[in-house]
Amino acid sequence: MDLAAARLLLVGCGKMGGALARGWLGAGARADNIVAVEPAREAAAAFADGPRPIFVGSPDKAPPGFGPDVIVFAVKPQAMDIVVPAYARFADSGAVFLSIAAGTPIRFFETHLSPAAPIVRSMPNTPAAVGRGVTAAICNANVPPEGRALCEALLRAVGDVVWVTDEAEIDAVTAVSGSGPAYVFHLVEAMTAAGVAEGLSPEAAGALARATVAGAGELLHRSPEDAATLRRNVTSPGGTTAAALEVLMAQDGLSALMERAIAAAARRSRELGA
């Protein structure tokens, strides 16, 4: 089934849900085939300049006869206990349930929907808002091949997709890519502050740091070379970059700090799913 024919029930249309919906519309999904269960009025207002889903306050308000092919849960993990049970009536309809909630395991949905429900658990990240996200996904044995393919198409509409075979890997995915954009944004903050400490104005330091990180990311995206090679390419022996990397690559430098940070995020993801 292609996106133009898919009937989609989006539960939650906040920042990530909205990014998904815009990605689907851009990839060919029909606006009248997307029903968004979202009571917040500002969510619908965000689509004022183009096609938008059909917004309803509850699943009971969906258009008569609307039968979703995929039900996407895009609400916060803390709300899942309240939200998910209302969709158990779709468990025997053939619809696939696709979750983007961090820390919410497949067994949670099997418990609250049905042991036979087809579940895809995924972890996208916020660059999905500009079509440059990356999502890791895993499905239970109840998901048919066509259901997995449709879910992949939905996720690929906002970036790359990587399938994993062990659900435990999703905790590491959450720590690396799900939370990863925040690490990059904090890097820009840190570079800005360091530039100010060296005498730059906050405006100049911020503009330089932001453009440098954005440009380096685009170079990494376009280049066939890996990150280590690109790093070596910009590092002249005995030069300024080498002096900085001696600090960043020290035993207690960035690698050790990032290892601790990602371990903390993965641990928290496991706690949320316990």
pLDDT at site 49: 81
In a domain, 253, yes or no: yes
Q: Is 52 a member of any domain?
A: yes
Instruction: Decide if 62 is inside a domain.
Output: yes
- Asked which of 165, 197, 223 is the last residue of a domain, the reply is 165
For residues 155 and 198, state if they share a domain: no
Note whether 104 and 121 are within 8 A (CB). Answer: yes
Look at residue 117 in the predicted model and tell me its pLDDT. Answer: 96
Q: Is 157 in contact with 3 (CB distance < 8 Å)?
A: yes
pLDDT for res 270: 87
Asked if residue 229 and residue 158 are part of one domain, the reply reads no
Residue 175 within any structural domain of the chain: no
* 241, 112: one domain: no
Helix (H), strand (E) at residue 135: strand 133-139
**pLDDT at residue 149, as a whole number:** 96
- The pLDDT value recorded for residue 232 is 96
Question: Could you list the residue range(s) of the whole structural domain that residue 259 is in?
Answer: 180-273
The answer to whether 198 and 169 have CB atoms below 8 angstroms apart is: no
- Residues (pLDDT < 70) of the chain are none
Quote the number of domains for the chain.
2
DSSP 68-129: -SEEEE-S-GGGHHHHGGGGGGGTTTTPEEEE--TT--HHHHHHHT-TT--EEEEE--GGGG
Whichever domain contains 93, its CATH number is: 3.40.50.720
Q: Are residues 149 and 124 in the same domain?
A: yes
* Inside any domain, residue 138: yes
Looking at residue 255, its pLDDT comes to: 96
Report the Cα 149 to chain-centroid distance in Å: 18
* Chosen domain end from 165, 190, 215: 165
Same domain, 129 and 230: no
Structure tokens at 102: 């961090």
For residue 273, the model assigns a pLDDT of: 75
Same domain, 55 and 144: yes
CA dist 193 and 154 (Å) reads 39
